[in-house]
């Protein structure tokens, strides 16, 4: 199912990814989904809370830094869910960057992904966005490439 991404949201995400370099950036994608498409209507940038959250949720990986991992605080997820619900929207995805690595989902990304979400990954090389891909889980919990359609105007 294609993911509709308004160009100004792409620029917002890309700017955040470049500003966060050499660390990973992250955020939430709010929008609507129907039988044919998922449409991003809002982007919620998030602080990369990896170092704050790793001790509690991923103690076996706490030695990794925000240059290799990201985490979104549960409080922000809850706030976004409530805000979206009030406006007939949903969280339809999460985005993050891969500094100096391809925009390909890692095993960690797959292991912690939720089936209903799209996962946009931006590859940022030397501080510049060079690629953007979106992934979604199939019925076997494996990532499949998802088409991104960048639109010139919002919906």
Per DSSP, what are the bridge partners of residue 40?
31
Residue 103 and residue 92 in contact, taking contact as beta carbons nearer than 8 Å: no
The closest alpha carbon to 148, from 137, 124, 132, 125, belongs to: 132
Domain ranges of the chain: 3-151
pLDDT digits (tens, 9 = 90+) for 68-99: 999 999 999 999 999 999 999 999 999 999 99
Model confidence at 10, pLDDT cuts 50, 70, 90, reads: very high
What's the token pair of residue 41? 């209507």
pLDDT digits (tens, 9 = 90+) for 12-71: 999 999 999 999 999 999 999 999 999 999 999 999 999 888 878 888 887 888 999 999
**CATH superfamily of domain region 3-151:** Cytidine Deaminase, domain 2 (3.40.140.10)
């Amino acid at each position: 199912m294609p993911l509709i991404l308004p160009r100004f949201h792409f620029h917002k995400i890309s700017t955040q990814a470049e500003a966060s370099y050499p660390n990973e950036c992250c955020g939430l994608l709010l929008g609507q989904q129907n039988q044919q498409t998922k449409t991003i209507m809002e982007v919620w940038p998030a602080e990369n809370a990896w170092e704050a959250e790793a001790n509690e949720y991923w103690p076996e990986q706490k030695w990794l830094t925000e240059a290799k991992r990201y985490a979104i605080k549960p409080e922000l997820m809850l706030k976004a869910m409530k805000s979206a619900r009030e406006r007939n929207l949903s969280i339809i995805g999460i985005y993050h960057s891969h500094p100096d690595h391809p925009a390909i989902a890692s095993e960690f990304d797959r292991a912690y992904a939720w089936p209903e979400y799209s996962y946009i990954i931006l590859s940022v090389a030397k501080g510049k966005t060079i690629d953007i891909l979106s992934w979604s889980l199939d019925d076997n919990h494996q990532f499949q490439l998802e088409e991104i359609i960048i639109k010139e105007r919002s919906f």
